[in-house]
Amino acid sequence: MHNTPEFPMLSAIVDDLACQGWSQQAHFLPAGLVSALATECRRRAAEGELNPAGVGRGAAQEVRETIRGDHILWLEPGESEVCDEYLTAMDDLRQAINQGLFLGLEDYECHFALYPAGAFYKRHLDRFRDDDRRAVSAVFYLNSDWQPGDGGELRMFLADEREHDVQPTGGTLVVFLSGDVPHEVLVTGRDRLSLTGWFRRRGNEPF
């Protein structure tokens, strides 16, 4: 299959990251793959595989629905063909970012996320106080026919007190520097599906 992202889009993302620290691309992957990923997310949610997301890391992790209300499932390679295609596309992006920005990104971790109606994720940075390996965040949306009144926007807080909202429309990819861009997910009015992940470099975590 030829589901790899086109070179011009990869280089646009790298350029955006270099000059503004974030990038938004519509139609990052073909519609057929987007809907297959959405089907996979819903199927595994129906089978009870998604769990309430935690806040914090390791033993300090706890579920706090006043901060975030999504349900997640971490992806492992080799579990499904469509998920592997997604991981392959993200590895292409990882290599493009490394070639353009010398960030030394070593791997990519990612999970499905399902926000039921009424859920949100309060303003935060994608970086733990004791672990700085997450360097670049990437969120890929899986929702068909999202309407402005459906809510669930990703709000990014940028330099000069500017804000940028992204509708979680299927096929849209948002990429940003994890340590630089605070963001939140506004209350969603309907189920909101995504694949959320982080490119990581070698960090200061103790062995």
Q: Which residues bind Mn ion (CB under 5 A)?
A: 126
Picking from 5, 9, 21, 18, the residue whose alpha carbon sits closest to that of residue 175 is 21
Give me 61's structure tokens: 């992790």
Site string for ligand OGA, 112-141 (x = CB under 6 A): -x-------x----x------------x--
List the interface residues with ligand OGA, window 55-114 (CB under 6 A): 113
196 contact, one of ligand OGA, Mn ion, none, CB 5-8 Å limit per kind: ligand OGA
Selected binder of ligand OGA within 50, 185, 193, 195 (CB under 6 A): 185
Selected binder of ligand OGA within 114, 154, 181, 193 (CB under 6 A): 154
Phi, psi (rounded to 5 degrees) for 93: -65, -40
Selected binder of ligand OGA within 73, 196, 199, 200 (CB under 6 A): 196
Q: Specify the DSSP element, H or E, that contains 176.
A: strand 173-177
Cβ atoms < 10 Å from Cβ of 172: 22
d(CA 194, CA 189): 15
CB of 134 to ligand OGA, least distance (A): 10
Identify the DSSP state of 131: B
Cα dist. 16→1, 9, 26, 159, 179 in Å?
A: 28, 10, 14, 14, 16
CB of 183 to ligand OGA, least distance (A): 5
- Site of interaction with ligand OGA (CB under 6 A): 113, 121, 126, 139, 154, 183, 185, 194, 196
